[in-house]
Amino acid sequence: MNRRNAVIVLSLIIVIINMPIFAQNSLDSLIQTLPETCTSLMKQRGWPSLSIAIVLDQKIIFSQAFGYSDIENQIPATTKTIYRAGSITKVFVATMLMQLAEKGKVNLNDPLIKYIPEYTPEYPVNTGPTTLRQLATHTAGLHVDLAQGFWHYFANFLWVVDKGKGEIPWGPSKNELVSTLNKVEIEYTPDQYPNYSNFGYQLLGIALEKAAQEPFDDYIKSNILDSLYMNNSGFRLNDEQKSRLAKGYVYLEPNFDRYDAPEWGGEIIKYSGGLYTTPEDLAHFISFQLRDQVENTPRVLSGDDLRLMRSQQTLMSSQSKDVYGIGWAMYQDQGHEVVGHAGGHWGFFAKAEFIPDLKLGVVIMTNCNYPQGDLGPAKHLTQIIYEKFIPILEKKESEPIFDPKKINLNKYVGHYSVPGEYANAQVFIKDDTLYFSLIEKPDFNVRILPLNLNSFCFSSDPGKHEMFHFYTDEMGNISSLKFLSYLFKKNNK
């Protein structure tokens, strides 16, 4: 086993060891009921197949597939069945944006025209040029799809009316799109509130491809998918992977009769919805979002940028409860922020979500869609899972029992100063106990006891009020402590 794999295995073992018996038993009991919940809901909704993965921190705690990836040929869905992720692709485009920004190849506030000079719309009064950040947050004021996409929408409409008959055009090529960007109209005032736009992400993908000087799909695969061991994901499938691709179905009113989904195609759609993947692969991507510190694994993105992507970047839309970050959308559920994205194609639906403070993630994929009704798994199954999992993860009894004897006191020892050295303190060990002393006030020499990891109280007030809190850097080393609301930085020299 190489060093990298050993670290990954060790991190999973630590997650399991640190999970208290109460919580683990409750989760085990809950997980045992999930197959019945999934199959029951799948039958109610008429899904041909359902594939699901649930993540708790760095571990996939449940992964199973139900139903058929191909009804006619009775091919069962498995955890290796490949689905189309649809607009979840946009989160990977946003990740590419943040990576290139970290490398200094782009700036989030760069104007789009810097990378696509053909983009010359007439801007509304008192607004600046379209930026990469606006495209990533759906605040560029663009229509949901490019103008040439009207005939694609019209063909979709006729396909539904004619019950699965007719061809569906999939829009222009990339070169054809770029050649018409002088005719783009900005429909909404930029930066006011989000207007979801596939067109915006197609422009963003083309711009990032130019900045990276590498084909878009190759860049995503080599810099994101491969690094996160998403081995069943990509924009092009080999013959073996094609054999595992689910067949898509469409259900139409009034009786929700089943039809084979039309073929998917189109060069520019890959930038906004072209990813093929599996729930387990997406679960690896969710686990990556839940990493708090830099690990000895390939670094796809810094922790600060991960948090930036899921922080509010837009005003709340009057027509949606979602708030957008960079790539992600956010909403509240039972007092917790949920971060996620859904995706749909003809014949497919997918959803990937996570709750950062509980380190819980859910991925759902199926090979059907209902263009005229809400019978897909948009919220039904995730809502059921949250209702069952959140109370268990919130319970105080589920918190690990704190053992002060296991704390390494040596890591707190050192000299600390208020910036400007207006006050200085020494933290030291005496008789196996930690002490805090003010250098300028030597008679203030107090014994302190741990309340929790990095949290201490006066020994005269044991187990009650936190008076000292130690902070760590990204590598887990103590960097500072707070006392009486003042931050004392550690002198590591």
Strand-pair partners of 416: 425, 490
Residue 150's CB is within 10 A of a number of other CB atoms, namely 12
At 5 the pLDDT is 39
Report the amino acid identity of residue 182. Answer: N
Taking CB atoms within 8 Å and a gap of at least 24, the contacts of 150-159 are 156/346, 156/371, 159/262
What does DSSP assign to residue 246? Answer: P
Distance CA 302, CA 310 (A): 13
pLDDT of residue 322: 64
- Per-residue pLDDT of 86-112, as tens digits, reads 999 999 999 999 999 999 999 999 999
Q: Determine whether 54 is exposed, middle or buried from the number of CB atoms within 10 Å of its CB (0-12, 13-18, 19+).
A: buried
Positive or negative torsion for Cα 412, 414, 419, 422: positive
> pLDDT, tens digit, for every residue of 288-302?
998 855 444 457 898
Domain spans of the chain? 39-387, 404-491
pLDDT band with cut points at 50, 70 and 90 for residue 15: very low
How high is the pLDDT of residue 1?
38
Q: What is the pLDDT of residue 321?
A: 60
Q: pLDDT at position 317, please?
A: 53
String of DSSP letters for 259-326: EEPPPP--STTHHHH-EEE-HHHHHHHHHHHT--S--SS--SS-HHHHHHHTS--SPPPTT-S-EE-S
Average pLDDT, the chain: 86
Give the pLDDT confidence score for residue 16 in this predicted structure: 34
CA distances for 165 relative to 53, 99, 257, angstroms: 35, 43, 14
Q: Quote the pLDDT of residue 135.
A: 97
**DSSP letter assigned to residue 223:** I
For residue 3, is pLDDT > 60? no
Q: How confident is the model at residue 460 (pLDDT cuts 50, 70, 90)?
A: confident
- pLDDT at residue 42 greater than cutoff 90: no
- φ/ψ bin of 476: left (φ > 0), alpha (ψ from -120 to 50), beta (otherwise): left
- Residue 17: pLDDT above 90? no
Residue 336 and residue 390 in contact, taking contact as beta carbons nearer than 8 Å: yes
pLDDT of residue 401: 58
- The strand pairing partners of 111, in sequence order, are 131
pTM for the predicted model, two decimal places: 0.75
Distance CA(420)–CA(431), nearest Å, equals 32
Which of the 8 DSSP states describes residue 214? Answer: S
Alpha-carbon span 272 to 288, nearest angstrom:
21
- Percent residues over pLDDT 70 in the chain: 88
Nearest to 59 by CA among 21, 20, 95, 10: 10
- Return the closest-CA partner of residue 47 out of 386, 280, 253, 349: 349
Q: 39-387 adopts what CATH topology? A: Beta-lactamase (3.40.710)
Residue 115: pLDDT band with limits 50, 70, 90: very high
Q: Tally the C-alpha atoms within 13 A of residue 295's C-alpha that lie toward its C-beta.
A: 22
Helices (H) and strands (E) in the chain, counts: 13, 21
The predicted-structure confidence for 179-199, as pLDDT tens digits, reads as follows 989 989 898 889 888 899 999
DSSP E strands in 159-281: the ranges are: 249-252, 257-260, 275-277
Roughly how many angstroms between the first and final C-alpha of the chain, as a whole number?
Answer: 37
> What is the phi-psi region of residue 242: left when phi exceeds 0, alpha when psi lies from -120 to 50, beta otherwise?
alpha
Closest by alpha carbon to 485, among 425, 418, 420? 418
For 404-491, which CATH superfamily applies?
A: Pab87 octamerisation domain (2.40.128.210)
Strand partners, 296: none
Establish whether domains 39-387 and 404-491 are of one fold.
Answer: no
Q: Averaged over 236-259, what is the pLDDT?
A: 91
Q: Where are the beta strands (DSSP E) in 382-440?
A: 414-417, 424-430, 433-438
**Cα–Cα distance between 435 and 448 in angstroms, integer?**
6
Measured between alpha carbons, how far is 271 from 326 in angstroms, rounded to an integer?
Answer: 15
- For the chain, give the number of residues: 493
For 329-383, the pLDDT digits (tens) are: 998 888 899 999 999 888 999 999 999 999 999 999 999 988 766 555 445 788 8
